[in-house]
Structure 1
Amino acid sequence: MRVLHVITGLEAGGAERQLRDLVAHHRVTAEVAALTKPGLISQAIQSLGVPVHHLGMTGNRDLRVLMPLWRLIRAGGYDVVHTHLFRAGLYGRLLARLAGVPAIVASEHSIGEHQLEGRPITGPVRSLARAGERLGHMTIAVSTATARRLERWGVPPSRIEVIANGIDPSAFRFDPEVRRATRARLTIPPHLTVVGGVGRLEPGKRFDVLIDAVAAVQDTVLLLVGDGPERANLVAHARRLGVAQRMILTGQSSQVPALLSAMDVFAAPSQEETFGLAVVEALACGLPVLYSACPALAELPPGAAPGARWVPSAAGAYGQAVRELAGTGHERLAPPHAVTHYGIDQHVNRIEALYLRLHEQRSRSQGITPAWGEQR
């Protein structure tokens, strides 16, 4: 089976990292097309031996990307086109449908109640997203909460399949030597408590709450992994509070597991998430976790993640929680059931079973005998 993944970009976001892990464990022949500029995840995917096609899109209205994407889909002989993120979902599904691709799938990674990929959901955005959905055969919701949002948008339940994100727990296993080396590289003294966050630096992630929390607690450092449009505002806010010297911004990084090992407390103050991948990764590293929204945990039985604690997204609440954890001796926790529940193998198995089912359905309806091609 030949699969083309189409994604808006390959910078180090949650959807991009999820795609990297998916293709790393695929049992099908996979290629990736990125509409916009390459990034760290592009390099990681290519290092796996998976071809990545960079199409050079420069903005939302740069329709020049359509022709090279059309040529790629037409020439590739793909059994499945699988899109990720808004623009890729819109253009990729349209061109795959025009090219007669047997199975067209889209993963919905970033739809919130009020925002889509960090931007407000307007009427035109909702209309475009709904029109794009009709061009595919199935939409994967990464959580039940995401599926409910899609249904409220008018997507029939029969066109939605809930397949939770997956992680490779071994990739995030805590390593004390890596911790020491990473903290030394970042010049963090051993006695300081490191409060960490991972994600795109955008207003919806509410990383300003963590700056306020660290400002209120002595002997703490804030370590933020990621980049985005809110970076300058976060730096300015830290300077106003006099804690800029206690904040480290790594930018995009391919070393997320090492940076998690360097942390003592993981904090996710975002009030709106579609899954909460970074929270599960932090739990895999044995970190105590503070979070304000995480469908991945909300949809599991109580006790599935004893090291995780819900905290309202407010500076005072996070400051108090950090203060309580700062005196615990920074002991690592055993990865909880939530981590094994979201193992990458189950994720890949369900994705590939969906490909096969859709392809067989389309082939039968068209009187075609499936030909799967080589596996990678």
Structure 2
Amino acid sequence: MTDTSQQSRAAAQDGTGASRGGGHAGGKPMRILHVLFSSRIAGSERYCIDLANAQAALGHEVHVAGISGSPMAGELSPRVRFHGLSLPLFRGMRLRWLARKIGADLAHAHLSPACKAVARGPKGLAKVATLHVGYKPRQHARLDGVICVNRAQLKRLDDYGGRAVLIANWMPELEAGAPLDLRARLNLPRGTRLVGAVGRLHPSKGCDVLVSAFLKASPPDAALVLAGEGPQRAELEKLSGGDPRIHLIGHCANVPGFLANLDLFVSPSREETAGLAILEAMQAGLPIVSTATDGPSEYLAGHPVTLVEPGSVDHLAAAIGVAFQPDNIAGLARVCYDMRPFSRSAGVANVLQFYSEIAARP
């Protein structure tokens, strides 16, 4: 199914993010080119930004190619050079030119457009991708390696001929958010219990399920706050039916500050490979209700969270209702999660080690 090294198999078996090595090929820094064409910053973009910044801090020469004017450029370390590429029709050609110009050892693609462009890169350039969504032969088959973020992805690689490894997402480096009084901002009573979610407003993220479940199960003194933008916003506003307890606040640049206000975090996705917002909610110590999608059902096993069937309004409503029960003393109490499996240093080291294995192939 996959051509995995012994180290890759070990990582795939435990999925703990235990470090697999320092990541320098032959003890020398690498020239790394990350590629991600996106006009927004969501989970995949934040993964790319954090990985690039961490690699640069370790002494590697790191470049990021993206859309001209991308907000990603402002989030990158001064050590990372951003290259804005315009005119989508010629991105593949410009990317090949860029890879040759900087002498890249390896290109790391993120999301579909980047995978297609990197696959057409120059010969001799090692090419890998992180499966932020899932394996698609037309996008990934020509790459030298793929990084799976959950075990289910490893099992769905079909006849992929490159190397594959499991490296679960890690908790990114976050700056402490500025104090944010969400209740005051929304003109809510101090005693309002806040349910919240962070993510793109897209059907795959299941916010419509969350709105319906909240309307069905939450008490009058609760409010639902959705942080994010996307094509489903108008539908969610209509579904809310003018209920003043439901708030769509748009993009939130201060996620730690937002989470600090919540009493309950919900991840209602219909499909989710990883779920960075869940890790951030764990770091904040929030009680969590999540759908049992591929990624969360795997890495949340053994943690004190509530998992429910994806797409089910009734099951999600029941879980929210239990959290708000008057006799459920621990329902909305802060939780101390074991964050060791989500080590940033170990995850970054594992990615660099995988790079070295790919670059060393004849």
TM category, shorter? 0.7 to 0.9
CA displacement, residues 1-54 of structure 1 (integer Å, 9 cap, x when unaligned): 110000121522111111122122212221111147513x33212x54422222
1:85 matched to 2:100: no
SS at match of 2:83: strand
2:204 equivalent to 1:178:
no
Judge conservation of contact 2:209–2:312 (CA < 8 Å) in 1: yes
99 and 75 in structure 1: CA distance in 2 versus 1, 3 angstrom threshold: farther
Q: Offset at 1:99? A: 4.7
Task: State the 1:68 CA deviation.
Answer: 2.4
Residue 44 of structure 1 pairs with residue 75 of structure 2: yes
Q: Distance in 2 between matches of 1:283 and 1:133?
A: 32
State the shift of 1:330 in Å: 3.9
Among 102, 119, 134, the residue aligned to 1:111: 134
Specify the alignment match of 2:155 in structure 1.
148
Q: Distance in 2 between matches of 1:145 and 1:10?
A: 29
Aligned-pair identity (%):
31
Q: Secondary structure at the match of 2:128?
A: strand
Q: Is the 8 A contact 1:223 1:248 kept in 2?
A: yes
- Give, in angstroms, the shift of residue 300 of structure 1: 4.6
2:97 pairs, out of 57, 71, 82, with 71
CA shift, 1:346, in A, is 1.1
Alpha-carbon separation, structure 2, partners of 1:50 and 1:191: 44
Q: How far, CA to CA, are the matches of 2:36 and 2:352 in structure 1? A: 18
Of 133-142 and 80-89, more deviation after overlay is shown by 133-142
Q: Secondary structure at the match of 1:171?
A: coil
2:31 is the alignment partner of 1:31: no
1:352 equivalent in alignment to 2:345: no
**Preserved contact between residue 193 and residue 222 of structure 2 (Cα < 8 Å):** yes
1:154-165 alignment runs, 5 A limit: 154-156=159-161, 159-165=163-169
Indicate if the aligned counterparts of 2:272 and 2:296 stay in contact, CA closer than 8 A: no
CA RMSD in angstroms comes to: 2.4
User: 2: CA distance between counterparts of 1:300 and 1:49?
Assistant: 32
TM-score by length of 2: 0.81
Q: How many residues align?
A: 323
1:9 aligned to which of 38, 48, 53: 38
Residue ranges of structure 2 left out of the alignment (5+ in a row):
1-29
Normalising by the residue count of structure 1, what TM-score does the alignment of the two structures yield? 0.79
One of 200, 222, 225 as aligned partner of 1:223? 225
Partner residue of 1:53 out of 79, 83, 95:
83
Q: Match of 2:313?
A: 315
| Cα 1:134–1:294 shift into 2, 3 Å | closer
Matches within 5 A, 1:322-361: 322-326=320-324, 327=326, 328=329, 330-334=332-336, 336-337=337-338, 339-361=339-361
- Whether the 8 Å CA contact 2:267–2:289 is kept in 1: the answer is yes
CA contact (8 A) 2:308 2:316 kept: yes
Distance 2:31 2:283 in 1: 32
Report matched runs for 1:138-287 at 5 Å.
138-151=145-158, 154-156=159-161, 159-168=163-172, 171=174, 178=179, 181-216=181-216, 217=218, 218-239=220-241, 242-243=242-243, 245-287=244-286
The one of 131, 137, 141 equivalent to 1:130 is: 137
Question: Which of residues 11, 20, 31 is equivalent to 2:49?
Answer: 20
**Offset at residue 100 of structure 1 (A):** 2.8
Check whether the contact 1:35–1:88 (CA below 8 A) recurs between aligned residues.
Answer: no
Instruction: Name the SS for the 2:98 alignment partner.
Output: helix
Question: Which one has more relative contact order, counting CA pairs under 8 Å at least 6 apart?
Answer: 2
Please give the alpha-carbon distance, in whole angstroms, between the structure 1 residues aligned to 2:258 and 2:301.
28
User: Residue 148 of structure 1 aligns to which amino acid in structure 2?
Assistant: K
Structure (1/2) with the larger helix percentage: 1
- CA distance in structure 2 between the aligned counterparts of 1:287 and 1:75, rounded to whole angstroms: 47
- One-letter amino acid matched to 2:75: A
Distance 1:137 1:315, change over 3 A: same
> Equivalents in 2 of 1:254, 1:18: separation in Å?
15
Say if 1:209 and 1:55 are closer, same or farther in 2 by CA, change over 3 A. same
AA matched with 1:86: S
